[in-house]
Structure 1
Amino acid sequence: MPKAPVKRFRRLPDDEQSRVIEMAWEDRTPFEAIETLFGLAEPDVIEVMRHQLKPASFRLWRTRVTGRDTKHQTPNTKHQTPNTKLCARRMFYVDIAQRNISAEIH
């Protein structure tokens, strides 16, 4: 009988289920991001992965993520996630400004 996290996971659309598993496999995606997007905490993700993967694949995944710093956000960066649109806009304007300056020089 599947546990509550697995039942919650199964209620997600297929594309979101696939995304949760993909994010869990990614080395740089912290568990906190999965929790923010899908409401599944680290123990829930572990339970889902245990249920969705073959036993050997699950063991391989667990050895990869156990103790990995990149799978956990540090307390200082937890609330400092950059707004990507804002960062992209800033980089765009900096690029334009640099082009204008170099055009004035030449």
Structure 2
Amino acid sequence: MGKRPELEPETISRIIEMAWEDKTPFAAIEIQYNLSEKEVIALMRREMKASSFKMWRKRVSGRKTKHIHQRDFLVGRFKSSNQK
């Protein structure tokens, strides 16, 4: 696997925003930005203060809405016009 190109600050901000949203699954971030869940977690760890990262990880760990295969619903979820 080759080295990933650097992300623009605006892109990093949008990925963080999507990761914070409870109903945006990691799969949506992967489709739009080609970042796996592990890569999103690493980006969040790198870009956030340690206390904010810990709070986010505690909140999203095991959350059904962040993992599309665990969700109870698919229809009716909001999809931003920025998402692919």
Global fold match (TM > 0.5): yes
Once the two structures are superposed, the pairs formed by residues 16-95 of structure 1 within 5 Å of their partners are 16-74=11-69
Normalising by the residue count of structure 2, what TM-score does the alignment of the two structures yield? Answer: 0.75
Amino acid of the residue matched to residue 51 of structure 2?
A: A
Partners of 1:70 and 1:76 lie apart in 2 by: 5
Amino acid of the residue matched to residue 46 of structure 2?
A: H
For the pair shown, which has the larger CA radius of gyration, 1 or 2?
Answer: 1
Normalising by the residue count of structure 1, what TM-score does the alignment of the two structures yield? Answer: 0.61
SS in 1 for 2:30: helix
Structure number with higher helix proportion: 1
Question: Percent identity among equivalent residues?
Answer: 50
Quote how far apart the aligned CAs of 1:36 are: 0.5
Partners of 1:56 and 1:76 lie apart in 2 by: 28
Q: Which residue of 2 aligns with 1:96?
A: none
Q: Which has the higher contact order (CA 8 A, sep 6+)?
A: 2
Partners of 1:26 and 1:17 lie apart in 2 by: 14
RMSD of equivalent CA atoms: 2.8
Q: Which runs of 5+ in 1 are unaligned?
A: 1-6, 85-106
